[in-house]
Structure 1
Amino acid sequence: MTDRVESLVSQIDPALPMPPVVRRDVVLVAGPWLAGTSSVVIALRDRLPEHTVVEADELAAGQAPAAVVFVVSATAPLTESDCALLDSVAADTDVVIGVVAKIDVHRTWREVLDADRALLAQRAPRYRDVPWVGAAAAPDLGAPVVDELVTALREILADETADRRNRLRAKENQLLTANRRLAAAVIGRGRDARLEALRAQRAAALHRYRVDKSQRSIALRAQIQQARLELTYFARNRCASVRTELQEDVAALSRRGLARFPDEVRRRAGEVANDVGAGVARHLADVGEEVGLAVGPVGAHPTVEVDAPPSRARGAENRLMLLLGGGFGVGVALTLTRVFADLAPRWAVGGALGGAVIGVALTVWVVGVRGLLHDRAVLDRWVVEVISRQRTAMEEWVATRVLGAEAALTRAAAERDAADQSRTEDAIARIDREIREHASAGARALALRDRHVPVIESALAAIRDEFDALNTAEQAN
């Protein structure tokens, strides 16, 4: 290589990855499947014992041959995959010979050869001067037809510029590979897809946090409102049911049960308070479990003071009842006396005495029954008043406990939302860091490309000038 090429290449950053090339003094025979490469290898080994002829699988990665014999079939012109194979095997070697094999069975092989030459000339300028020959390394009849191939191969290997061309081609491939890698680093294979995925993840994380927070807030409010309604209704119904039961008990009270009834009312009121307290605690715990938050204990159950029943003193009413009862008894006594006097005059005195006794008894019974009914009415009103006060107290207590639970649940929800926000912010921060890293990597790759591409292009231009000079000198000779 010229000093210009060497000086330009030396300006490239040594850290820039450039595949090393190890030149081997061998002839590589390669070609597509069923093109007849094995037959050509055998024929060349027989006719060129002074050279080492190998196939593609005998070269390790990073090794380049001194010459490439590219064998194609005379059946049809080259395909895109055949051209790609030639680009691969001759990437670091400029000395290339094209061979159309099996010319003994394909009469149109010359047309195929011309078509292959034209296809390669259009593919890359380097292939315009590639010599093409026909061959039949393993014909069905007669001796192998490889003389033209052997002659062309000997001439091209004997060319004094062959080694120089190969070194220029290898250096050109290294520079082109480095250039492609710089361009690929700028584009970033999969970088756009990864950035799009990261942006989608970021948007999804924010959307999920906002939606979850909104849904949890709505669910909490709905659960609290439902609990307030259900617990108030429960306390009201419980008080109504116990009031009905107590009123039924009052209607069946005997005179001896009047004294024990206030204690029964206090006991039943305590049961109602305990039931309401337990129901509130259980329901609020269910609400907490439903929304995924802890609810503190309800605390002491509600208590309601039950005052003593009102006094049953009824002086005026008693006198009135005595008067009415006495009149009723006198009337009964007179009626009985007259009945006995009319039916059995001899029993008139006894009937009068009996009527007086019965009248007195009826008077006592009427007064007693009326007094019992009065006492029942007093206790019935007292029960209504007691249970009404208890219902009011229960509803207030339920409202207070639900309000306290709402405050506690709201605080817990705020703490949970803060924790979720912190986790979401951490996730978004990680995503943002990765996005910035991709952007920084792209910027670094762009700066690296901008710094090295001009030097690489200058070196490639110098290599092309060197090839042009060699071609000009060869044509002059």
Structure 2
Amino acid sequence: MTTPDPVAAADAVVAAVDPTLTSPGVRSTDAVLVTGPWLAGVSSLAAALRSRLPEVTFVEADELAVGTAPRAVVFAVSAAAPVTPSDCELLDLAAAHTDGVVGVVTKTDAHHDWREVLATDRDLLAAHRPRYTRLPWVGAAAAPDAGDPAVDQLVDLLRGLLSDPDLLRRNRLRAWESQLDKVITRYRADGDGADRQARVSTLRSQRDDIRRGRRLEKSQRTIALRSQVQQARVQLAYFARNRCASVRGELQEDITGLGRRRFAAFEDGARRRAAEVMAEVDEGVTTHLTAVAADLHLDAVPAPDGPAAVPDLPGPPLRSRRLETRLMMLLGAGFGLGVALAVSRLFTGVAPGLTVAGVLAGAAAGLAVAVWVVGIRGLLHDRGVLDRWVVDLTAALRSAAEEAVATRVVAAEAALTGSLAADEAAESETAAGRIAEIDAELREHAAATVRAAALRDRRLPGLLRARDAVRAALDDDFCGELTDASERNSGKTVGY
């Protein structure tokens, strides 16, 4: 009679539910894995077991090849303290594809309360996973301070476990259960989009950031442009007014020491100074607007075709003053007559014989005074005319400079606004392209999630039935083991 293949028997349980499932993808090995948390005495326990069971291969976690499942697992924990959640997870990882597991509380020679620790470990592991309810436990001292290693109970338990002909089938069923759990979890995660949720959230956050950043940047740049233009208008207008006032003061100061022969040169110099002021204002406007464009990272404002026009005013009215000249001559004659009479009387009082000389001297003095008074009054009059002309010239210059400033600033505002609009359009197009890429990726994730959900709905029922069948087979084996153990041992617990 042919002995049935235990691996094929386990695979048949799954194939009966879903024939498309052929293998759990795990290679079995005859080695026994000895593992446990740090300071549990794993290496000492493995050495003691190799000495007592030389026919069995014992390996530690770093000696087991990746993708292979041990024939059995010896899980060692120290008697110093109960197991922790991380210890439970370590056992889950070690026994994921192996049903034959033995729990060992080590260092029983150093801890007399190891039985209480063992009972606590059993309860904690049973609460962690129902499969560990059936886990057999023993105490051991692999490297005692005195005497030989106390591993007899563990050796007997391992011999019985490894000689069980149904161990391979149960291990295969446990591997099937673990693999089916992983596949079911993966299908559920894919169908729910859990693995894509982080990426989707990141993409949505990036899209919102791009839109919010574009609105904020556009508002900030528009406000900055308006503020810079307003500041430029105020500062440049102040510069133009201040420069015109400065020139007016300088010219008026020059008038106070001006002689009649320099009037023509003064007029030419004043017009030249006015042209220089317009050139300075024009240069200052160009420099300031260029700095504004650089601060806003925009194209430079184009310079005007030519310099600003200098106001053309008629010359000072220094020639048309006939009535004033006649009046001054009359007043000068009066002053001269008075001086002549005073001088002639002076001579007559001093020496009566000098009457004729006194009359001549008085006439000469009166004539000189009359000429001096008429000349001085004419000079002062002409200076007053020049002063008023300078005031008119600088007023016209100020008006022309302010007009030039306002015209240049308005033109610069239009140019900078156009440049800003062009930059905003380019940046908006770039942002729209990035948002389109994000939307396309989001649609891909949504479509992939829909496909994964459809695949989950199609595959999950069969996988769940297959897992339930595997668990039912393992539970049937456990119930049979309990019945046999009850008949053999009359209710005694393994490991005590």
For the criterion TM > 0.5, the same-fold answer is yes
Provide the rounded CA distance (Å) in 1 between the counterparts of 2:80 and 2:331: 141
8 A contact 1:288–1:295 mirrored in 2: yes
- How far is the alpha carbon of 1:124 from its aligned partner? 3.5
Provide the rounded CA distance (Å) in 1 between the counterparts of 2:441 and 2:103: 50
Report 1:357-372 matches (<5 A). Answer: 357-372=364-379
8 A contact 1:312–1:375 mirrored in 2: no
8 A contact 1:5–1:462 mirrored in 2: yes
**What residue number does 1:297 align with?**
303
**What residue number does 1:452 align with?**
459
Matching of residue 253 in structure 1 with residue 262 in structure 2: no
Provide the rounded CA distance (Å) in 1 between the counterparts of 2:482 and 2:212: 72
**Counterparts in 2 of 1:133 and 1:388: CA distance versus 1, 3 Å:** closer
Provide the rounded CA distance (Å) in 2 between the counterparts of 1:428 and 1:442: 21
Q: Tell me the number of residue pairs that the alignment of Structure 1 and Structure 2 aligns.
A: 473
Report 1:309-324 matches (<5 A). Answer: 309-310=316-317, 312-324=319-331
- How far is the alpha carbon of 1:476 from its aligned partner? 7.0
**What residue number does 1:70 align with?**
75
**What residue number does 1:157 align with?**
162
- How far is the alpha carbon of 1:400 from its aligned partner? 1.0
Deviates more, 1:268-277 or 1:444-453: 444-453
2:281 to 251, 259, 276: 276
Provide the rounded CA distance (Å) in 2 between the counterparts of 1:159 and 1:456: 29
Show CA shifts across 1:321-373 (max 9, x none).
Answer: 33333343334333333333332222222222332333333333333333333
**What residue number does 1:349 align with?**
356
Show CA shifts across 1:72-118 (max 9, x none).
Answer: 44555544344333322222122233444555666555555555444
**Counterparts in 2 of 1:19 and 1:267: CA distance versus 1, 3 Å:** farther
- How far is the alpha carbon of 1:148 from its aligned partner? 4.3
Q: State the identity %.
A: 54
**What residue number does 1:223 align with?**
228
Q: Report the secondary structure of 1:350's partner residue.
A: helix
Normalising by structure 2, report the TM-score.
0.82
Matching of residue 29 in structure 1 with residue 34 in structure 2: yes
RMSD of equivalent CA atoms: 3.3
8 A contact 1:312–1:378 mirrored in 2: no
Q: Report the secondary structure of 1:241's partner residue.
A: helix
**Quick one: which amino acid aligns to residue 95 of structure 1?**
G
Provide the rounded CA distance (Å) in 2 between the counterparts of 1:375 and 1:118: 121
8 A contact 1:45–1:52 mirrored in 2: yes
Q: Report the secondary structure of 2:264's partner residue.
A: coil
**Quick one: which amino acid aligns to residue 362 of structure 2?**
G
Question: Which 4+ runs in 1 deviate beyond 6 A?
Answer: none
Report 1:3-402 matches (<5 A). Answer: 3-11=12-20, 20-74=25-79, 77-101=82-106, 112-137=117-142, 145-186=150-191, 191-293=196-298, 294-302=300-308, 303-310=310-317, 312-402=319-409
Normalising by structure 1, report the TM-score.
0.85
**Counterparts in 2 of 1:371 and 1:452: CA distance versus 1, 3 Å:** same
- How far is the alpha carbon of 1:127 from its aligned partner? 3.3
Q: Report the secondary structure of 2:65's partner residue.
A: coil
Segments of 5+ residues of structure 1 without an aligned counterpart are: none
Provide the rounded CA distance (Å) in 1 between the counterparts of 2:130 and 2:182: 18
**Counterparts in 2 of 1:345 and 1:221: CA distance versus 1, 3 Å:** same
**Quick one: which amino acid aligns to residue 457 of structure 2?**
D
- How far is the alpha carbon of 1:234 from its aligned partner? 2.3
**Counterparts in 2 of 1:245 and 1:67: CA distance versus 1, 3 Å:** closer
**Counterparts in 2 of 1:421 and 1:47: CA distance versus 1, 3 Å:** same
8 A contact 1:266–1:306 mirrored in 2: no
Show CA shifts across 1:266-318 (max 9, x none).
Answer: 22222222222222222222333333332222442222223233352333333
**What residue number does 2:494 align with?**
none
8 A contact 1:41–1:54 mirrored in 2: yes
8 A contact 1:337–1:355 mirrored in 2: yes
Deviates more, 1:374-383 or 1:386-395: 374-383
Segments of 5+ residues of structure 2 without an aligned counterpart are: 1-9, 485-496
8 A contact 1:11–1:455 mirrored in 2: no
**Quick one: which amino acid aligns to residue 86 of structure 1?**
L
Deviates more, 1:362-371 or 1:217-226: 362-371
